[in-house]
């Protein structure tokens, strides 16, 4: 299970086995985010 923080999102505290990524310089760019979306079985937007 993966959580991606979009622009301006505050990182919630989550269990250690949940991967948290950020859409920002030095982490995900939009192309990489798109790859993640297509790889995922389900995408939930909060």
Q: Which residues bind another protein (CB under 8 A)?
A: 1-21, 36-37, 39-46
CB 3 within 8 A of CB 21: yes
Cβ at position 32, least distance to another protein in Å: 10
Instruction: Please report where in the chains the tokens 């993966």 appear, as a residue.
Output: 2
Closer to another protein by CB, 2 or 29: give it.
Answer: 2
- Terminal CA-to-CA distance of the chain, rounded, Å? 15
The answer to whether 18 touches 2, Cβ cutoff 8 Å, is yes
CB of 26 to another protein, least distance (A): 13
What's the min distance (Å) between Cβ of 22 and another protein? Answer: 10
């Amino acid at each position: 299970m993966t959580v991606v923080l979009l622009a301006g999102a505050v990182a919630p505290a989550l269990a250690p086995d949940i991967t948290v990524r950020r859409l920002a310089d030095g982490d995900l760019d939009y192309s990489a985010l798109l790859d993640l979306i297509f790889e995922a079985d389900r995408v939930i937007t909060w």
